[in-house]
Structure 1
Amino acid sequence: MKRAEQVTFGGSGLDRAGLLRGDADKLAQAQVDPSAKCVLLWRGKILARGDAVDQLALLPMSLDILNNGPGGVIEVPVLLGCMDDGSPLFALDISDWAAEGLDLSAVGEFVDGSEQQHPDLPKGHVFVELRRIMARLNPRDAELAATAKAVIGWHETHQFCAQCGAHSEMVQAGWQRSCPSCGGQHFPRTDPVVIMLITHRNSVLMGRSPGWPEGMYSLLAGFVEPGETLEAAVRREVMEEAGVPVGEVRYLSSQPWPFPASLMFGCAGEALSRDIQIDPVEIEDAMWVTRTEMMQAFAGDHPKLLPARKGAIAHFLLQHWLADTLD
């Protein structure tokens, strides 16, 4: 697919500075570099700014809150890489901040439209749910936000050695955890997921999971199992969820999806039947949607169907299917 990397989080050519991760002296110098910047997270939310909350906030590493403020799930900053001018980029978490007096009722919900302003940060710098603003960010901001959220989220759930259970330590600038007890080495995980544009003539197969907002449908998706190819996973997931047999399968595009740690493999598949028999444990509903109906949904005029979330690979694939630009 020629436009594959134009997907949100598709990459911006960030220099991830892998050679710096194991050099303690150069890392220490990078952290005190006057040009060094930091991506800040709080309870999984990203610090953003701008009148439309459409820019990632990159804070100077010299700010007091980054050195003396509430801590979080990581002991030291994670090195994200270097900007084009060589400026070091880090990520920190301040989830221990209590945010007293602020509305926290939506934090962690499927739809979180709330914003939290830290009193020690510049006005207009707010913590927001990344899914809410992902389509507004430029490619570099999007890659940095996704990387920071994914790596810090991994540290949050992998603080103990999977081999012996002892508390592990951050090494390699946050890109590895080492167990001082048994010597086990652990690396950030990414779970492969297939998401399928399944078509039959002029229609596409859409489904919805229980608990989704009213009218929200998306492409079917599921985790790839050990020992399974992407093509086999596509056929298995569609059959399990909707009872639809799939023939030819081809790869289209991928998207890092840090909610919490997936890599979405967008694939196209040809359905061999239109008969749908859903597994109610897997999905709540499934239906065939014509191009005309999908165009109505994208325009906000469909009586039942809402368009897929902007920024998600489902929206990206459907948009190119409608425009006939999948090749």
Structure 2
Amino acid sequence: MRHAEEVTFGGSGLDRAAELRGDIPALAAAMQAPGTRAVVLWRGKPVVAEADNALLRLPLDHPVLAQASDQPILLGREEGETVFAHDISAWEPEDLDEAAMGGFRDFTEQRHPACPEARFVELRQLLTALTPRDAELAATAKGLYGWHASHGFCARCGERSEIYMAGWQRICPACGGHHFPRTDPVVIMLITRGNACLLGRSPGWPEGMYSCLAGFVEPGETIEAAVRREVWEEAGVRVGAVDYLSSQPWPFPASLMMGCHGTAETDEIAIDPEEIEDARWVSREELADSFAGTNPGITPARKGAIAHFLLRNWLADRLD
């Protein structure tokens, strides 16, 4: 697909500077360099400028970083300058509304008194606002900190592991086990039959929201087989030919969404209520109306998500 990397988080050509991860003297020098900057997260939310939603890169002596709870993670280089990530989740904002942060969408914003010109925003609210580089940095930082938060103990012996390689590895001091950041492969499918596509919805989604079917790839399974299995399990529809289209890192918490196009061989739907709440065939005309906001029965997947990207390109006949 010629437009594959136009998807949000699709990649910006960031120099990830992997050769620095184990080079302690070089990392120490980078920490002292005046041009080095840090991307800052609070509970997975990046800090962005109030004016234009640009991802902030703060100098390492910025007072906000005094509340960082652990060592920084190396993200890479920009124009020759090193960029790290810091997490300040230990900071407790005033008047924090925990309940408002736990829904399908988190519209809350937090402002640190030492950084009044900026705010922490849930990354899914920024999907269409960030530049490709900002999106890649934010997604990388969020994914890595999420992995560290959930993988603090060795999977071999259960002892607490320690951070190495500038945040890109954990090593168990007890058994020597090496652990690396995890990414779960997920297939997300644009399934078509003639002039219609197959959309479904999960319980808990906003009223009327429909999206492409998706599911995790199982051990020993190809991408194509996962597409066919998931569509059959969720909607009872048989799929024949499957083509890969595009991928999207999705750090919610740690997936790689592999977008595919599948051609349905049957059109009768029999949903598994344990998997999804509903599924339906939607014509091009109905989908075009929903994108235009004139179809009250269907709200498409959020802008910036790969499902929206695939559906929009199908409407525009740009799946080549």
TM-score when normalising by structure 2: 0.98
Match of 2:270 in 1: 277
SS in structure 2 at match of 1:55: coil
Query: Which contiguous aligned blocks of 4+ residues in structure 1 show a shift greater than 4 angstroms?
Result: none
The reply to whether residue 236 of structure 1 matches residue 229 of structure 2 is yes
* Amino acid in structure 2 at the alignment position of 1:97: W
Write the deviation string for residues 174-196 of structure 1: whole angstroms up to 9, x where unpaired.
Answer: 00000100000000000000000
1:263-315 Cα deviation digits (max 9, x unpaired): 00000000011100000000000000000001100011102101210000000
| Structure 2 residue aligned with 1:212 | 205
- Name the structure 2 match of 1:323: 316
How far the C-alpha of 1:5 sits from its partner, in A, is 0.6
Number of residues of Structure 1 aligned to a counterpart in Structure 2: 320
Shift in Å, 1:11:
0.3
Question: Residue 86 of structure 1 aligns with which residue?
Answer: 80
Shift of 1:155: 0.3
Quick check: 2:50–2:119 contact (8 Å CA) kept in 1?
A: no
Q: Given residue 83 of structure 2, which amino acid in structure 1 is its aligned partner?
A: L
Q: Which residue of 1 aligns with 2:145?
A: 152
Q: Secondary structure at the match of 1:268?
A: strand
Aligned match of 1:199:
192
Letter matched to residue 186 of structure 2: V
Shift of 1:70: 4.9
Structure 1 residue 221 and structure 2 residue 184: aligned? no
User: Counterpart of 2:112 in structure 1: which amino acid?
Assistant: H
Where 1:240 maps in the other structure, the secondary structure is helix
Measured against aligned partners, the alpha-carbon deviations of 1:217-258 in whole angstroms (never above 9, x if no partner) come to 100000000000000000000000000000000100000000
Matches within 5 A, 1:119-134: 119-121=113-115, 123-134=116-127
1:103 is the counterpart of 2:105: no
Look up the match of 2:35.
Answer: 35
RMSD: 1.0
**What code does the residue aligned with 1:114 have?**
T
1:100 to partner: Cα distance: 2.3
Offset at residue 43 of structure 1 (A): 1.1
Conserved 8 A contact 1:32-1:62: no
Q: Secondary structure at the match of 2:268?
A: coil
| Unpaired runs of at least 5, structure 2 | none
Counterpart-to-counterpart distance in 1, 2:27 and 2:310 = 40
- Residue 16 of structure 1 is matched in structure 2 by 16
The answer to whether the 8 A contact 2:68-2:86 is kept is: no
- Which one-letter code corresponds to 2:63 in the other structure? D
The answer for the alignment partner of 1:296 in structure 2 is 289
Overall identity of the aligned pairs, in % = 62
Give 2:26's aligned amino acid: K
- 3-state SS of paired residue (2:105): coil
Task: State TM-score, norm by structure 1.
Answer: 0.96
1:57 equivalenced with 2:56 (yes/no): yes
- Please report how far the alpha carbon of residue 101 of structure 1 lies from its aligned counterpart in structure 2 after TM superposition: 2.3
